[in-house]
Amino acid sequence: MRKKFRMNGTSSFLKHHFYLCLGVIGISTASPAAAVTLGAIDFADTAFADSLEAASGTFIALAAGDGGSIDLATAVLGGDASDSAFCTTPAGCSFSVAFTDNAVVNLAGPDLAVFELGTPQTFGVEISGVVQNFLATDTGEDVLAPNLPGFPDTFDLLVALIDLDDFGIAEGVEVTSVRLLSLENPFDPTVIAAVPGGVVPEPAVLLLWMTLIPALFVLAHLSHQGVSRGRGDARLQNGLVIGAIGWPIRFRLRPKG
Ligand SMILES: [Ca+2]
Ligand SMILES: [Ca+2]
Ligand SMILES: [Ca+2]
């Protein structure tokens, strides 16, 4: 005859910690909401270039609709694709931006997105002293154009997806400064962003695993013992429960009186 054991309060303890673990998982896996979607890429609100470091040449920067003239920093920082700037200096212009609350990281695939408007023009990107030229392609999306004579109602939104491999940047290395060179006018940049794949893993990922693993053990145990079907005093066999990642847990249970 098999000996019966009572969990004696263990089930309510496990239930409590099971729901606690689920709650913590819910918190730790809550990724930042996508602030802006451009070119079918979801960007968090920190993804964009944060400060204008230097500029040469003369730019005209315009907001969409009736927004009128704005400064270069407003046009090229942040995630608003409808404001932009273009160079009016025949010899070309350049400007540098810095990422201060994020970085562009060389991971697999493209790491940096440069959006511009209208017709593609060749532009240069300088990173760590290396210059490469790019031509953006149409995202298929349109943005509202400035409400000015001679302007269309909308501009095509174009993007160049840039891999830091092309600049000799080693895998995993962060870049926080990017210089853009207007080689053909009117190149009109509007958004400069780190693509989502180029995000450094955050401590939240470690927190996830620290909470997920015990939760899996508890879930496996509850499932094994059928506690959810009982009244909190489920009868069970003493034994060994193998957790979801293969670590054995031995439960010591008091025999039912
Ligand atoms: Ca940023
Ligand atoms: Ca890359
Ligand atoms: Ca812009």
Instruction: Please report which ligand is nearest the Cα atom of 99.
Output: 1
**76 within domain boundaries:** yes
First to last CA, the chain: 16
Please determine, for residue 236, whether its predicted confidence score (pLDDT) is greater than 50. Answer: no
**214 within domain boundaries:** yes
Instruction: Please report which ligand is nearest the Cα atom of 116.
Output: 3
Give percent of the chain with pLDDT exceeding 70: 63
**257 within domain boundaries:** no
**39 within domain boundaries:** no
What would the mean pLDDT of 83-105 be, rounded to a whole number? 96
Please tell me the predicted confidence (pLDDT) of residue 225: 53
pLDDT (tens digit per residue) in 49-73: 999 999 999 999 999 999 999 999 9
The CA 101 to ligand 1 mean position distance, Å, reads 5
The CA 245 to ligand 2 mean position distance, Å, reads 32
Q: How many residues can be counted in the chain? A: 257
Instruction: Please report which ligand is nearest the Cα atom of 172.
Output: 2
Taken in order 31, 37, 40, 43, the sign of the CA dihedral is negative
Same domain as 214, residue 159 = no
Please tell me the predicted confidence (pLDDT) of residue 18: 46
Query: 128 and 167 in contact (C-beta within 8 Å)?
Result: yes
Residue where a domain stops, chosen among 198, 221, 237? 198
Instruction: Please report which ligand is nearest the Cα atom of 48.
Output: 1
What would the mean pLDDT of 207-233 be, rounded to a whole number? 47
Same domain as 69, residue 21 = no
Give the span between the Cα atoms of 159 and 18, in whole angstroms.
46
Please tell me the predicted confidence (pLDDT) of residue 240: 40
Instruction: Please report which ligand is nearest the Cα atom of 79.
Output: 3
The CA 162 to ligand 2 mean position distance, Å, reads 8
The CA 100 to ligand 1 mean position distance, Å, reads 6
**34 within domain boundaries:** no
Same domain as 151, residue 69 = yes
Please tell me the predicted confidence (pLDDT) of residue 215: 53
The CA 248 to ligand 3 mean position distance, Å, reads 55
Please determine, for residue 200, whether its predicted confidence score (pLDDT) is greater than 80. Answer: no
pLDDT (tens digit per residue) in 4-49: 434 444 455 445 544 544 444 444 444 455 689 999 999 999 999 9
The CA 122 to ligand 1 mean position distance, Å, reads 25
Please tell me the predicted confidence (pLDDT) of residue 33: 57
Place of tokens 């070119």: 39
Same domain as 134, residue 110 = yes
The CA 143 to ligand 1 mean position distance, Å, reads 22
Q: How many domains does the chain have?
A: 2
Please tell me the predicted confidence (pLDDT) of residue 35: 86
pLDDT-based confidence at 211, cuts 50/70/90? Answer: low
The residue segments making up the domain with residue 235 are 5-29+202-250
Same domain as 80, residue 20 = no
**58 within domain boundaries:** yes
Same domain as 164, residue 68 = yes
What would the mean pLDDT of 114-122 be, rounded to a whole number? 96
Q: What's the helix, strand, coil split of the chain in %, to 5?
A: 20, 35, 40
* Residue 172 φ then ψ, to 5°: 85, -10
Same domain as 110, residue 72 = yes
Same domain as 192, residue 98 = yes
The CA 193 to ligand 2 mean position distance, Å, reads 14
The CA 125 to ligand 2 mean position distance, Å, reads 15
Q: Of 57-71, 92-106, 233-247, which gets the smallest average pLDDT?
A: 233-247
Same domain as 233, residue 221 = yes
Same domain as 245, residue 162 = no
The CA 235 to ligand 3 mean position distance, Å, reads 64
**17 within domain boundaries:** yes
For the beta carbon of residue 40, count every other beta carbon within 10 angstroms.
9
**256 within domain boundaries:** no
Same domain as 72, residue 18 = no
The CA 164 to ligand 2 mean position distance, Å, reads 5
What would the mean pLDDT of 195-202 be, rounded to a whole number? 60
Same domain as 59, residue 152 = yes
